[in-house]
Structure formats: C-alpha cells, structure tokens
Amino acid sequence: MSVSRTLYALMVTAVTLAGTPLRAGADGVALEVVSVLATNSGGVLDPRLRGQRPHLVGFPYSSYRLLRRDVRFVPWGRRARFNLPGPGELKVSPKNREGTGIALNLALRGQQRRRLVDTSLCLQDHRVLLVGGPRHRNGVLIIVVGAEAGGGQ
C-alpha cells in the first residue's frame, strides 16, 4: 500500500515537473518594434506598412517608409533593447499582466544615450503604441510598438 502511495506521489511529481517547462516557456511577451521614417517628400506609403496604415494616417506627413522591424520574445521581468535607425534605442520591459493588458516599462534614448522619455504603461494585448518625434535624416521616426502575451503570470 505504502509502495503504491510512493509510486503515486512520484508520478504526480514527475507530471508536475514535466509540465513546468511548458508553462515557463509560455511566460513572456512577443514584442514587435517597427521603425517608420515619416517625411514630406513624395507621397508614398511603403507597401510593407499596409497593416499599420490606420495608425499612420492621422499624422501630417505624406510619405511613410519602413526602416526596420524587430520581433523579440521577452520573458516577464526581463528587458529587451531594440536598436533604432540612427543612434537611438528603445528599451522595453514587460512587467506583468493586468487583466487583458500588459504592463510595460518603456525607455526611449536618443543621440549619445540621451534620455528622451521613460514611461510605465498598460497596453492591451495585441494592440500597439506609437512613439514618435526623434529626427532622422529628412524626417522623423515613428516607432510602432506591439505586444502579444504568450502566457499569463
């Protein structure tokens, strides 16, 4: 009887341990950072930005060109650094889930790591946030930040 109980306990432990990597593997956020150059020279919407069109039409620029697109999977509590076109960088750290939202820390750095903005916010899962303004070449950068949670915390 005691042998079968021990065996049962071992089986339960084994199943629990086997399940742990599955949960841990899903605990994080897929972050997508799309860097767009907005200018007033010409009237072109980069075909690769068709999906971002509703987010861009409100800006007073005539031309939008995709410069860079990065996707990273970031575990909760860790920080990802995204290089932006030019000298800038964006640091994003997913903190935790808040209902259907994702709590994030976001830091934008400009030339020589100059601090432009630091913010804590809650972004709805599968939604985007736009950070714009840094000058680049003959226009400005608009950075589209999207987040998709892979698992709860």
Partner 1 sequence: MSPGKRVSGVMSMKCTEVEKLLEAFVDGELPGGAMRETARHLARCASCEAMAIRLERVQETVRQAVLGEVEEPDAVASWNLIAPRLAASSSPPPWRERFGSLRERLRFRGLPAPVWIGSAAAIVAMLLWAGGGQPPGDRNQRFQLLARQARIDLLDASSNVRVWNQPDSGALVIWVDEQRPNLEPVAQ
Query: In sequence order, what are the beta bridge partners of 30?
Result: 73, 148
- Scan residues 35-54 and list those touching partner 1 (CB under 8 A): 41-42, 44, 54
CA distance 129 to 118: 14
**Count residues contacting partner 1 (CB under 8 A)?**
58
Per the CB < 8 A criterion, the answer to whether 143 and 84 are in contact is yes
CA distance 67 to 44: 14
* 135 touching partner 1, by CB under 8 A: yes
* 92 touching partner 1, by CB under 8 A: no
Measure the CA angle with vertex 62, ends 108 and 84; round to 5°: 25
The nearer residue to partner 1, 127 or 152, going by C-beta atoms, is 127
Residues that bind partner 1 (CB under 8 A): 18, 21-22, 25-26, 28, 30, 32, 34, 41-42, 44, 54-55, 57-61, 63, 66, 68-75, 83, 101, 103, 108, 114-124, 127-135, 137-138, 140, 148, 150
